[in-house]
Amino acid sequence: MKTCVFIFLCVVFCTAGCNHELEKKDLDTDGFKGENFTFYSDKDLFEQSFLRRSVGGNNEFSIVKVDAVKDYFSNGDDALVVTTSRSTVCEGDFKVIWDGSVMESYPRRINLFLQWNGTCNGSTSPSEDVLVLNINELIGDNALSENSVFSVINGSVSHHGNDQDVSFN
């Protein structure tokens, strides 16, 4: 009888312990919402988005410029100011995706993948968007933010050479 109870408890605990691993994570529901973007810190989403770019699955835009602005916010936090442009009329916002990794070179490098997430109606009308990312809040480490180069990677297929690097130094 004790053996049966012991085996039963082992099965219950093993099943309960494995159950968390079997749950599928919904990558599009977790994120920090900004004014015209959502920030994700997710390695799987970063990799999926990068692969979609290679097959043309992302909407087109250009990165006009990226500026690193120290003490941009009233609390002293720094900002990455990303100016983008599109040639068509669109509704939606951007995804800014960080895989959570830091390249430990000198200087350190943090890759941010920028992807347009919306629908475009095909009407030609140039438009610009400015994304203001509170980098201290999003990365969560002020020293890391100040001593790193940020690479903003364009997520659209025809502009893959339009990536830009910027640092706060």
* HSE-up of residue 80 (Cα within 13 Å, Cβ side): 30
- Assign domain 30-167 to a CATH class: mainly beta
Q: Mean pLDDT over all residues of the chain?
A: 78
pLDDT at 45: 93
Global pTM reads 0.76
pLDDT at 130: 95
- For residue 41 the two structure tokens come to 């810190």
pLDDT band, residue 97 (cuts 50/70/90): very high
- For residue 137 the two structure tokens come to 């809040």
Are 91 and 59 in contact by the 8 Å Cβ rule? The answer is no
3-state secondary structure of 147: coil
Listed in sequence order, the residues at least 6 apart from 150 whose beta carbon sits closer than 8 Å to its beta carbon are 66, 68, 80, 109, 110, 112, 135, 165, 166, 167
pLDDT at 127: 83
pLDDT band, residue 151 (cuts 50/70/90): very high
pLDDT, tens digit, 9 for 90 and up, residues 152-169: 999 886 655 677 777 766
Tell me: cis bond preceding 126? Omega within 30 of 0 counts: no
- Greater confidence (19 vs 153) lies with 153
pLDDT at 117: 83
pLDDT, tens digit, 9 for 90 and up, residues 28-75: 457 889 999 999 999 999 999 888 887 765 677 889 999 999 999 999
Which of 60, 47, 67, 55 lies closest to 116, judged by CA?
Answer: 60
